[in-house]
Amino acid sequence: MQPRELAERLRDGSDPPLLLDVREPWEFGICRIEGSRSMPMRQIPAALDELDRDRELVVICHHGIRSQQVSIYLDYQGFRNVINLQGGVAAWARDVDPQMPTY
């Protein structure tokens, strides 16, 4: 999913997906998409039971690489509604929210 598609989806009033930010806490502290939940990549295997397997998940990182890896992992673990945010928060800042701090 591209950042602009996600922004439209979040504005449309439908049931929002869980925004799962898999960056490190220091990264999440610099910038984040409003409403996202921080769960660093390394914590995902131990936290699978905390995630709703039936809910749509949009996985987010800095540039979309870690989130793609987590998306593949979650799919392998039986999550069927997992979407990777292409370009991560860097693309979100560029395409949706130019006021967002970057690093």
- Give me the active site residues, please: 61
Q: What are the C-alpha distances in Å from 73 to residues 13, 35, 36, 78?
A: 29, 23, 19, 9
User: DSSP per residue over 23-88, as a string?
Assistant: S-HHHHHH---TT-EE--GGGTGGGGGGS-TTS-EEEE-SSSHHHHHHHHHHHHTT--SEEE-TTH
